[in-house]
Structure 1
Amino acid sequence: MLELQGVTAGYGRTRVLHDVSIEVPTGRAVSVMGHNGAGKSTLLRVATGLLPVMSGRVLIDGEDVTRLPPSKRVRRGLGYVPQGQVSFPQMTTLENLRLVAKRPSDIDEVFELFPVLKELLGRRAGLLSGGQRQQLAIARTLLTKPRLLVLDEPTEGIQPNIVADIERVIIDLTRRSDLSVLLVEQHVGFALRSTHSYYVLQSGRITMTGDGGADAVDAVRGAMAI
């Protein structure tokens, strides 16, 4: 589905990513973990088309999209949930969802994933908790029917019960559909439980990769502590 092949990227003359290669297969969830400053945000900016590469390629379904802008990557099935629980704060939960829903029945489908949103339809998004806004942001992106869902630090500042809900949704979506997920995250336990495979990014380089799952938590935490 998504491939970054030998990508080097950065800002001005400063290189942040150094020959980075990752793959997100169709119907699989992949996490990229690393501390602040490791290059995770730069990697996502490259994947979504917000930052050009210095060298290397970005492919979606085998097609080279390295030079395509974000809008054209969206048309090829990319859905991006940026960091920070982004919403339209003056609009209600329902109005936020209606902005992107193609059919009313599509909104009912996201209620199956995030039931709490159905109870908050008339409330302005700016009055929701951080966790509720994060669920709204993910739901709104899913309404665009992406084939690749890109999540940037979805657990940041979120209460544990909603972290568990988001974990459940990621697992459920990849289990019952061909949706691919690229998750960038610092929360090691959440990331590994939610995804089929992982990459560890340190100082702009991939230093570790393997299968996801709870059994990998201790090894990844140890590697990141070095």
Structure 2
Amino acid sequence: MLEIDTLRAGYDRTTVLHGVSVTVPKDGVAAVLGHNGAGKSTLLRAAVGLLKPAGGTVRLDGEDITRLAPHERVARGMAYVPQGQQSFPHLTTAENLQLVADGRLGVPPRRSGRGGGKGAVAEALDLFPVLRELSGRRAGLLSGGQRQQLALARALVTRPRLLLLDEPTEGIQPSVVAEIEETILALARRGGLSVLLVEQHVGFALRAARTYHVLEAGRVTSSGEGGSGAEQTVRAALSV
């Protein structure tokens, strides 16, 4: 699905990624783990086109998309949820979702599946029932956990083939963390969607992931198959 090969990227004259290679399996989850400053968010930003790489390639289903603009990657089926529970705070929950469904953010909506934009919004709300109850509330008045669920729902409204998640459980109350984790696991189980997951919670990341990669100072220091059996290996890699 997604192949990142020897990617080099950074900011100004500072190189953050030093030849990183990561593969996301089709209809599966690849987890990227590492301490703060390891380059995890930089990797996602380069993958989605928000950061121009200095070298290496990014391929989606075999197509070289390294030089494509972010909106062109979204049109090909990529969706990105950055850190920070981002939303339009003065718009309601429903309006936030409808903006994406209508393509008013400059990205033509993907119409695969039933019901077009309305159907995509309904599917997203089915995954996060609390948002249906809060559809008339302004996003700025939602809790952090509710805003994160809204950010995930907005990404899913585009009906992506590849979802990039940057610390989706960061700063969220434990009860909502469990809901978000279960939703991501359910998406992974049902197929039709690949996920590149950056996550600090090792246990959850490995439960969700078919494969994992540990980043340290912008380099992959450990890779392998996911699952609970890999937790000791990953924790050992992270403790170095």
TM-score w.r.t. the length of structure 2 is: 0.90
Q: Does the Cα contact within 8 Å between 1:2 and 1:59 map onto a contact in 2? A: yes
Deviation of the 1:215 alpha carbon: 2.2
Q: Which amino acid aligns with 1:214?
A: S
Q: Which amino acid aligns with 1:79?
A: A
Deviation of the 1:11 alpha carbon: 2.0
- Find the counterpart in structure 1 of residue 37 from structure 2: 37
- Find the counterpart in structure 1 of residue 137 from structure 2: 123
Q: Which amino acid aligns with 2:24?
A: V
- Find the counterpart in structure 1 of residue 51 from structure 2: 51
Deviation of the 1:109 alpha carbon: 1.4
Any unmatched runs of 5+ in structure 1? none
Q: Distance in 1 between matches of 2:11 and 2:121?
A: 39
For residue 197 of structure 2, give the secondary structure of its aligned residue in structure 1.
strand
| Percent pairwise identity | 62
Aligned residues: 226
Instruction: Report matched runs for 1:175-190 at 5 Å.
Output: 175-190=189-204
Over 6 Å off, 4+ runs: none
Any unmatched runs of 5+ in structure 2? 102-115
C-alpha distance after superposition, 1:157-204 (max 9, x if no partner) = 011122111221122112222200011112212211122111000010
- Find the counterpart in structure 1 of residue 93 from structure 2: 93
- Find the counterpart in structure 2 of residue 165 from structure 1: 179
Deviation of the 1:213 alpha carbon: 1.7
Deviation of the 1:82 alpha carbon: 0.9
- The question of 1:105 aligning with 2:119 is answered yes
Deviation of the 1:216 alpha carbon: 1.8
2:221 to 181, 190, 207: 207
Please provide the CA RMSD for this pair. 1.2
Deviation of the 1:80 alpha carbon: 0.6
Deviation of the 1:55 alpha carbon: 1.3
Q: Does the Cα contact within 8 Å between 1:167 and 1:193 map onto a contact in 2? A: no
- Find the counterpart in structure 1 of residue 21 from structure 2: 21
Q: Distance in 1 between matches of 2:51 and 2:92?
A: 32
- The question of 1:6 aligning with 2:6 is answered yes
Q: Distance in 2 between matches of 1:106 and 1:16?
A: 36
Q: Distance in 1 between matches of 2:13 and 2:164?
A: 27
TM-score w.r.t. the length of structure 1 is: 0.96
Moved more, 50-59 or 169-178: 169-178
Q: Distance in 2 between matches of 1:29 and 1:193?
A: 10
Q: Does the Cα contact within 8 Å between 1:34 and 1:200 map onto a contact in 2? A: yes
Deviation of the 1:39 alpha carbon: 0.6
For residue 152 of structure 2, give the secondary structure of its aligned residue in structure 1.
helix
